[in-house]
Every structure is written in structure tokens, then in C-alpha cells.
Structure 1
């Protein structure tokens, strides 16, 4: 069967010996081939299209997967990874569309609902939502204002605010129970925020919506102040906390990409 990524791949050098070219050049050719129409692509296709021997192609792909630039289904096919999508979005001429593209790709990588929320005074407002792949839907919606103390994005923001500002927010809003699992004790929340700072992400375990568990990471402005965040939302009866937290690296990549796009527009 003819490869869908044949002679049209920008990185291919017709007539070049398969054994020539620096390691960097080979990596760039394979990276370009990953983005060709018709993916994901088989190892043999990528090797043939780039002129790089299969053994070298495999080693380069393994490194790209490890670094997040490529993904594999474990069955010999390779596609574009979230980190490469992030870089592509950053050079987009349409900043909002670049952000949406990142959020959509995060959803495809995880299968979970994705939210982007920005801080508005003492609360957060959902500005983007990408539904998950499950038939079940959460009640969240664009435009909904959510509390900081009871949500994953909110706790991620609180954890990185100056202590006096975080304290002022909690004094102004209180810590009302949204569900029976909402944190309402100031000391318990303070201990959790220390954990959030240490591990880099926050978890909302049915604290804002019953049967919904969320993983959140902050998004910062140019001065390092948290202005919002990105989250993944999963149904507790379909996804365990451990399974959700395995998506933390992908969420981090998406959050940093959104952050850079927002900073460019600021």
C-alpha cells in the first residue's frame, strides 16, 4: 500500500543516502513527517518517507514520545504529540483559535471534559469548555462563575496567590459548602494548598459537583500572578483519582501553552 506521506513530506530529501545527515536533521525530518496528512503513521512509512533507517527512526520516535512531541498507540503507529501541538498553536495568527485547538487536543488525548477558567474578582468564570467523549455530561457551562475554595482550578489559583491575597479572598467569600465534600475548614484547606504547591496540580474530589472529579493547573500572567487555569473533569464512577492524575503531564503542557498564548495577547 502506498504511503500517505510519500514524496510530499517537506523533510524528505530525494536522492539522499539513508545513512547521511546529522542526528538533528533526521529528527527534524521525522518530526515534519509526523505532521503530514493521513496520520497516525506507521514506523515503516516514516522511515521510507524520510530516508532514515528503521532502527534510527524507532530510536528518534521513542525520544519524541518521551518528550511529548509524539504519541503512539503502542501498536506501531505514531502521531503528533501535545507538546508539538502547543508549539504550533503558539505561532497561530489567531490567538483564541490557538487556545481552542490546544484544549480540543487535550480532550482528544484524555477523553475527559476540558475547562479554561479565568479569575474575575474573588471567583473564576468558565470561558471555554470542551465536552468529554463519554455520553454523560457535567453541569458546567461557559459563563458560570465558580468559587476558588471548592474547585480544582480555584485551589490551583489560591495556592499560588500571595498569602495575604488568598486570605482576603477567603474572608470575602467565606468557604460555604457546595456539596457534602467541600472543604469548609480554613486549616484543612491551607494544608491542601501546601500540597498543591508541592506537586503542581490541584484536585477537586466531588467538592463542587457530585460524582465529578477534577484535575486543575494554574495559568500565570507575565508577572507570575495566577489569572486562571485549565482543568480536566471526569465522572467518579468511570475514572478513579489515580487514573485522572496520570493525565497531569498532558494537562501541564496544555496549561503552559495556553499561558503563553494569553501572555502574547496581554
Structure 2
């Protein structure tokens, strides 16, 4: 999980990593959903061109669909060409999360884990070609990470992301890397596909993933896979530690507790 806020977080997230290639935009439903997700990514309001590029939808089509989403109140236009969440989408989000038994169970599990390890805990799931933080439970230490709910994370450079990638076939992994690449977030980021394959083999063997300051210098994370009701990996639970407060060895000692928390969420997300 990302720890200290980075420059990527202030930019428009790329839910599908499509980079504006219309051939990957999908059918009408895919386009509308991708545009909706791109428009409400952290840092909104976002301009038409940025939303279209992130969703992989041609600008003309994006403009028409976004106007429809504004007309139906799923999105709101700021009057200067920017888009963000509308009242209908906000109400829908509230209905999904407010009083949701699954959400309460997941948060309770993460709160227990956070108390046990004394650090910030996150739950994230795959959203397109990235991961998104669904729940954050801040730790008690005075130095806090700047991660936030809704933050999009690169799959190859975070513990939660590596958990997601560990559930892919090699063909799926190769295709994903072909779409989004392996950008260097820090000097420690894995940027070679073969090296990433080796890393994912390690994740599968040990049941947890490590982010060794690969997404942000000064933050080390350990994550374990979260699976849906069918057993497919859809996300992960992670503990984030500031490197000068907690050693790598201390982080590794929490691996079994993180795995246990992740297993407790099995099937709760679908």
C-alpha cells in the first residue's frame, strides 16, 4: 500500500490504464463506467481530455457520455469544463456503505489488526489496471502515512498490487504490463517483467507480498491476498510501516497476522 502521498496521487488516476486507446474502451457500458471512474478519481474536478484519456474513450464519445452522466446526476460539471461526482453517485455510495454488514465486518477486522501491529492498515482491491484503497485504519504512531480511501495504486510497486498480480496467469500479467508498463516509482521499483515474475512466484510461495520502498521512499509494506467467494484474488490487506520507526524484521513478524486478517475477509467482497 502506498504510504506517503506522491505526485501520482495529485494526477488523474488511470482506472484501466488504457492511455486513450479507443480499441480497448469496450462496449457502451464499459465506456460509461470507465468514464465515471476516471471522472471521480482523486483530485477532481477533471477536464474532458484527461477523463477521456484515462478511460480510453475517444474525446467526442466521452463528451456525449459525460453529458448524459451529468444530466442523470451521476456526475456534476463545475462550469469550467471539469467533472466530478454528482449527487446521485454520492447517494449511491452512501447506500452501499452505510450500515453495510460486510463493511462493518471488514473494518472491525482491520481495526483489530491495526491495534495488534501498531501501524496503519489498508484494504485495497483491483480496479482495472490499478488497485484502489477501500478502507484505511490509521495507526497510533505520531508519524502517519498520507494514503487515503479512493487512492489508486500501481499494481507492480505496492504490496496490495503484488497480491493482485500473484493471482494472474502469465498471459494476463504479460498483457497487463503491455498496457501500463512498469514505471519506476522509486529506485527500488521492479521495472523488468522477468524480475516481476520471480517476485510474484515468491508471493505465491510465502503467501504475502512486500513493498520494499518500491512505491515511496521511507515506507515499507507487507500485504496478503484477499479472495472472492470463488477463490480468485481480488485485492489485499496490507500493513504500512515507516522505515525509520519499524525495521524490516519487525514487519516480517506481522506476516501471519496479516494473512489471518486477509483470510477473514474471504468472500465478503463478492
Q: Would you say same fold, with TM above 0.5? A: yes
2:195 is paired with a residue whose SS is helix
CA shift digits 1:198-230 (9 cap, x unpaired): 111000011111100000111111222211110
Find 1:212's aligned residue among 204, 207, 219. Answer: 219
Higher RCO (Cα < 8 Å, 6 or more apart): 2
- The answer (yes or no) to whether the contact 1:175–1:183 under 8 Å persists in 2 is yes
**CA positional deviation for 1:148:** 0.5
Per the alignment, do residues 130 and 186 of structure 1 end up closer, same or farther by CA in structure 2, a change over 3 Å counting? same
CA shift digits 1:92-116 (9 cap, x unpaired): 9822111111100100010011000
2:114 aligns to what?
A: 107
- Distance in 1, matches of 2:174 and 2:220, equals 25
Write out aligned runs for 1:7-22 (5 A).
none
Moved over 4 A (4+): none
- Distance in 2, matches of 1:95 and 1:220, equals 14
- Distance in 1, matches of 2:247 and 2:205, equals 22
- The answer (yes or no) to whether the contact 1:153–1:230 under 8 Å persists in 2 is yes
**CA positional deviation for 1:160:** 1.8
**CA positional deviation for 1:192:** 1.0
2:257 aligns to what?
A: 250
- Distance in 1, matches of 2:174 and 2:139, equals 34
2:186 aligns to what?
A: 179
Find 2:206's aligned residue among 192, 199, 210. Answer: 199
Please list every run of 5 or more consecutive structure 2 residues that lacks an aligned counterpart in the other structure: 1-98
CA shift digits 1:17-52 (9 cap, x unpaired): xxxxxxxxxxxxxxxxxxxxxxxxxxxxxxxxxxxx
Per the alignment, do residues 261 and 222 of structure 1 end up closer, same or farther by CA in structure 2, a change over 3 Å counting? closer
**CA positional deviation for 1:128:** 0.6
- The answer (yes or no) to whether the contact 2:230–2:267 under 8 Å persists in 1 is no
- Distance in 2, matches of 1:178 and 1:197, equals 23
- Distance in 1, matches of 2:177 and 2:237, equals 21
2:144 aligns to what?
A: 137
Per the alignment, do residues 93 and 156 of structure 1 end up closer, same or farther by CA in structure 2, a change over 3 Å counting? closer
Equivalenced residues, count: 172
Per the alignment, do residues 135 and 261 of structure 1 end up closer, same or farther by CA in structure 2, a change over 3 Å counting? same
- The answer (yes or no) to whether the contact 1:161–1:225 under 8 Å persists in 2 is no
The CA RMSD measured in Å over matched residues stands at 1.4
Please list every run of 5 or more consecutive structure 1 residues that lacks an aligned counterpart in the other structure: 1-91
Determine whether 1:238 maps to 2:245.
Answer: yes
Greater C-alpha radius of gyration: 1
- Distance in 1, matches of 2:219 and 2:109, equals 23
